[in-house]
Amino acid sequence: MNQIKDLQKLIKLTGERAKLDAKANETYIVYKSAKGQIVKEFNDGNVIPVTDRDGSHA
């Protein structure tokens, strides 16, 4: 099979699993948006940018 397509599918599935885990644990996921900004996405769909002042690691 095409290794690039397999890798893209694995990445997509990993992201979907992260969202499910975040929902189950009532937390958020962090990722780099298409615009290149690091953001937090909450279970309710709320997306907020991460700033340098965000010191919380909880």
pLDDT band at 53 (very low <50, low <70, confident <90, very high): low
Q: How many domains does the chain have?
A: 1
Instruction: Say if residue 1's pLDDT is above 80.
Output: no
Decide if 32 is inside a domain: yes
Residue among 42, 38, 11, 57 at smallest CA distance from 3: 11
Residue 42, domain member (yes or no): yes
Which tokens is 15 given? 């992201």
SS3 for 39? Answer: strand
Kindly state whether residue 15 falls inside one of the protein's structural domains: yes
Beta-carbon contacts of 37 under 8 Å, excluding residues fewer than 6 positions away, are 49, 50
pLDDT at 54 over 60: no
Say what the pTM is. Answer: 0.70
pLDDT digits (tens, 9 = 90+) for 5-38: 999 999 999 999 999 999 999 999 999 999 999 9
Taking Cα atoms as reference points, which of 47, 20, 44 lies closest to residue 31? 47
Q: Residue 42 belongs to what domain range?
A: 3-49
